[in-house]
Chains A and B, each alone.
Chain A
């Protein structure tokens, strides 16, 4: 079936916004800009990687200019798409990557409002993280390598969000995995980052396997690798429904791995061993959103499998509460943020699962800016207290790092869901829609998680910025605010964190972002039979907002009560008393502090048991398989050793052999010929 390249249909599509979006060919300017957005970071990576060592003290010049230009172009593209009256969807094929018989994979681009939103998140946060890294990596010897890797990551992530075929998306998927691996293990001489990068890579490999098989399944069912074509062909395939379900489930496994959903969540907290800008960019704001983006991109396919959607929602909300519970007790500032990221990603998956597609992408955006800011802020804090990450050795930093503190406070409030910050709008959209669509358990658990979010964020704030100082007395006098290259990105990120919701989250019920993204998710919503409902601010919807804000406020209040806030004193002794009061609280505390022992479980199951199985298999391989192979070899050798005595090297012996042979043959001939 041919893809419909019909400019006329799209041109007259103003009145038919509800009908399927038509793909129009991109104009040559659009093509050029898309190519520039994608390939500038790649050029930056190659140049910095090749000659970076010679750039001396400023190896970031090339990579930062590449990313900034790319971001500017992406912004122009995104704004022209988002502000146009009709929903936009254009694309073009750069060249045919793999032409083999029936399998034809194009290296093509697809641009619509979803891509535009992702481009804004990726390029803006990416640029700010690049600038921030100038200050953060100032004293690192091989910072050119760092900037080269960052550019490679930007290229991979942009390819992931702009590609129009499953195979290219998969390639980009692996590329972001590679750059994540390289950046987590950036300080590869230390043991912990090296191990963490390996863990991240291996866990992702397991999930990517599912992804790859899922892609093959889509190809077998639809016969195409093109994302848009598969949307058209998938519903009409005559494949059994359960096979379709399994294929979609496998795609979900890949998405869950990249977005670190249970049971693949174990790699993300360890990934915090990497430099903090990497944690902000890759492991909070962009790469871990790849799974959410992929499910949103292929929403018409996921909508075909209600069973898998149920699983997406369950896994998502389970991860949300599991990670939030672990975040309550962690001592490492980055670990708290890492588990918080997991928890928020769980929200997004839950939103995808219940069919609140736009809310999921909205939360992706809001959380991307917020969590990027939080991580960069935590980097600034860690920098200030001389590479100390343990929150028990911080405290009372409010006045010493004022810019960091204020931006951090905005982000913490946003993440907790306090209006009118960005996180409030997106989280409220998720909770509200899951309730309206009848997913009460998701709503209830989500509400609990919202309360926990408020608590752990203000526990973090209290332990870090307020109360008494527990900083090492030697470091204490040297604490200072970070350089301008680090504080400016913090301030710039605080702007969308504060105002994003007001800009695109209003008016409630008919927000701007819904206008942008609804046409993209219309096919999926049609399949799932989701219908828009009348938004009643002085009714059910207003009540839902009040409930979620109230719960978040309770969480914040409890956090402040125990850990202090500005002038309020902390009650750390009460916390200690509470966790030690009886067996239940003590047990809960130990359990969440030890991350519910998932790492130990993995250690038992995969390292010990799996290792034993692998050893058994290796024994079989070494003793039996190799034994057979080597046996054949040594037997042949021994026979050869004996038989070679026949070869005397004397002509007469050979001639005799020939003569005797001739006689034997002649005799046989004479005898048998009769």
Chain B
């Protein structure tokens, strides 16, 4: 059991060579986490509530252009800029999972955390969003439905982590690598997103993270982010 007491360091590796920009992760995340649909106009204006987004850049000169996709979610920084600035501790660090929590009930909506997030991975509930029928019957009972005026962001599907940990505890064993899969990783058709425990050197995610192609976005800011990107142009060609 001593092994279980050690806090895990959940992390994600995203292989940019494998990402096709299909947005399946965005959809899966919205379904898993009860993310409301803001509507075409609002999303166009920059008020979508997606917890994960695909950044798309173009390389080269028209017509010889290639797209460049980077899925970005909350990087669950070890030293998070969002946490220090919240006046009411709505954004705070979880010791058990080593991720940044957002306590919706405590949030008063200063939006300071969102300004201070260098990854722009926080979204705000600008209105009370009605989820149209029959979609409102699909809501995930494990995830809180957020009200107007609070921030929200990717949680690394903490409800799935908790469920798997409870399951493992019931069976009296420790978690196996690959037992927890967040919605985005599960939906990714090309397996570009790998989730696991970074503190375990044998886990798949650690092995990938140690690759030469691995980098953390904006590492120079000292955020100690837990999302490792594998640079494009590696062993799969690019």
Partners in one complex: no
Q: Which residues of B pack against A, CB within 8 Å?
A: none
